[in-house]
């Protein structure tokens, strides 16, 4: 009789432990999904902010708004981005600070943005990023001519 209770109790303990481990794994996966969604939003906002900066051209009002938007986005990016994305973002900001309001090399800007997108893809989904890189896809970006 005591042996039956021991077996039953061990079974209950194993089931409770299995449920706890399953719950922990489910929660961890949910947190990863939430983090990934937030990163996608921030990375998208970064590309949007760069586009707005390009589209502002020489209009001081639009340029001021675009700069503020870029600053806010970069600040949020600093909280969630991987080290490689942050390095690419620093390269982008260095380029923009160096060439803001002047003629600049559009090809160099596109190369920096390509690297940034590749690093963001690696951060979000490494397997898919490897397949895209193996296909040697070059991302295209719209940059209006500077006046």
- Whether residue 147 is predicted with pLDDT greater than 60 in this model: the reply is no
**At a CB cut-off of 8 Å and minimum separation 6, what does 37 contact?**
none
Task: Return the pLDDT at 129.
Answer: 84
Residue 42 CB partners (closer than 8 Å, separation 6+): 73, 76, 77, 80, 81
Q: How far apart are CA 83 and CA 69, in angstroms?
A: 22
Q: Output the CA angle 100-102-108, nearest 5 degrees.
A: 75
Which pLDDT band holds residue 145 (cuts at 50, 70, 90)? low
Question: pTM (2 decimals)?
Answer: 0.77
Query: Residue 102: is its pLDDT beyond 80?
Result: no
């Amino acid at each position: 009789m005591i042996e039956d209770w021991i077996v039953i109790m061990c079974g209950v303990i194993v089931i409770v432990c299995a449920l706890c481990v399953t719950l922990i794994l489910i929660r961890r996966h949910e947190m990863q999904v939430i983090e990934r969604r937030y990163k996608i939003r921030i990375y998208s906002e970064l590309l949007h902010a760069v586009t707005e900066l390009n589209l502002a051209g020489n209009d001081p009002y639009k340029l001021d708004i675009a700069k503020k938007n870029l600053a806010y986005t970069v600040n949020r990016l600093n909280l969630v981005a991987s080290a490689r994305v942050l390095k690419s973002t620093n390269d982008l900001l260095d380029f923009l600070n160096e060439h803001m309001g002047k003629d600049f090399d559009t090809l160099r800007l596109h190369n920096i943005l390509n690297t940034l997108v590749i690093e963001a893809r690696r951060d979000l989904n490494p397997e898919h990023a490897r397949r895209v890189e193996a296909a040697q896809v070059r991302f295209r970006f719209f940059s209006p001519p500077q006046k």
